[in-house]
Amino acid sequence: MAENEIRPEQVDSTVSTLREGVLQIALDRAVGEVDGWQKKLAATDNPELVPISDNLAALSTELSRDPLDGMVIGGLLSTLGRQVQEVSGTGTGKPIADKLESLSRLLASEGGWVSGQ
C-alpha cells in the first residue's frame, strides 16, 4: 500500500470518533482530526479528493472561529458526507467503500444535527 493511500483503519478511527457525537469531541482533537485528513487527502494529488480536502480546510477554519457557527459547521459536515458518499463509488473509494459509506452517513447525520436540520 502506498504511503499516501487511505487505509481502512484510518477511516475506522474517524468513524469511531464521530460516533461519540461531534459535540462530545474536544475542539483541539476535532481540529487535529480535520487537519490530518486535509493534509493526507491533499498529499494524494488525486483530483477526486480535492473538493473534500478543500472542505476540510474550510471546516478547520470554521472550528478556529470564536464563536463557532453551528449552521456553517453543520453545512460543511453535511457536504463532506455527500462528497465521501460520492467517492465511495469511484475507483478511489471502492476498496474501502463500506467504511466510506459509514463515514458519509455519520458526517451527514452529525452535520444535520449540528445545523438543526
Residues in the chain, total: 117
What is the reported pLDDT for 91?
A: 87
pLDDT exceeds cutoff 50 at 23: yes
Look at residue 102 in the predicted model and tell me its pLDDT.
Answer: 95
Share of the chain above pLDDT 70, in %: 96
Whether 99 is covered by a domain: the verdict is: yes
> Does 92 have pLDDT greater than 90?
no
Does residue 54 lie in a domain region?
yes
Cell numbers at 41, concatenated: 487527502
pLDDT of residue 106: 95
Quote the CA–CA distance of 50 and 44 in Å, as a whole number.
Answer: 9
Nearest to 58 by CA among 42, 41, 45, 77: 77
Average pLDDT along the chain: 92
pLDDT band at 3 (very low <50, low <70, confident <90, very high): low
Q: Report the number of distinct structural domains present in the chain.
A: 1
Residue 10 lies in a domain: no
Question: Which grid cell sits at 53?
Answer: 480536502
Q: Is residue 22 part of a domain?
A: no
First to last CA, the chain: 39
CA gap 9, 58 in Å, rounded: 25
Instruction: Give me the domain span that covers residue 80.
Output: 30-115
Residue 6 forms part of a structural domain: no
Q: Supply the pTM of this predicted model.
A: 0.92
